[in-house]
A and B are shown apart, each in its own frame.
Chain A
Amino acid sequence: QSALTQPASVSGSPGQSITISCTGTSSDIGVYNYVSWYQQHPGKAPKLMIFGVSNRPSGVSNRFSGSKSGNTASLTISGLQTEDEADYYCSSYTTTTTLVFGGGTKLTVL
């Protein structure tokens, strides 16, 4: 299975909004609403931010939102804060009953 495609890096200023894309295929993102997003700070385990395309776990800020169109999912972070600076990974369930991750996107808050 091939990794989902994410931009290597994105950046934004405090208070701005950014969007990270995640492109898959008709064997994963395109066929299931099972996209999730994770935030990872250096040296830490990833943290779930979005599941089921657009659902936020309890405790995750409503500044984080997710969407999907066709084979591409997106994570939007509004009102950027310095603590949002981290690596972000998307993932999707696949038709081979496994999970596939994106290559990761480094978010820099300028």
Chain B
Amino acid sequence: QLYLQESGPGLVKPSETLSLTCTVSGGSISSGSLYWGWIRQPPGKGLEYIGSIYYSGDAYYNPSLKSRVTISVDTSKNQFSLKLRSVTAADAAVYYCARLNFWSGYYVDSWGQGTLLTVSS
């Protein structure tokens, strides 16, 4: 059974950098046809794709966030991470880490429980 767990601070000050890590257990992050990504959901709103990464390090980002986002992977720890720079109140959301499957489509087949980010000074 695959399990994804987000970790990181729940409170970040405006203009600072959000750093989150997702630890994967029950499966290898180096498996083929699988990407690992971040998706967020502001309170009461819809889902927004942030970006995703292959175990080789190839990363893809939402064009609207690309200038502020970096996603990295550490295969030795079976983890991947998100950095979002210059956060504002608009970045307040539940952040989910996820597994994206590229077999017969491109879809999220496993989600973390989500972690709530508050942006406040």
Contact = CB atoms under 8 A, between A and B. Distances in A.
Do A and B associate with each other?
Answer: yes
Interface of A: 1, 3, 32-36, 38, 45-48, 51-53, 55, 57, 89, 91, 93, 96-104
Among all A-B residue pairs, the 8 with the closest Cβ atoms: A52-B105, A36-B107, A93-B106, A45-B111, A51-B107, A99-B49, A104-B46, A52-B104
Nearest to A99: B49
Interface size class, chain B: 20 to 34
Interface of B: 37, 39, 46-49, 51-52, 60-64, 96, 100-101, 104-109, 111-114
Contacts, number: 74
A67 to B, nearest CB: 14
A46 B63 CA distance: 23
Given A103-B46, A104-B46, A98 B108 contact: no
A55 B103 CA distance: 11
B47 A45 contact: no
A48 B105 CA distance: 12
Nearest to A55: B104
B62 A48 contact: no
B105 A99 contact: no
A88 to B, nearest CB: 11
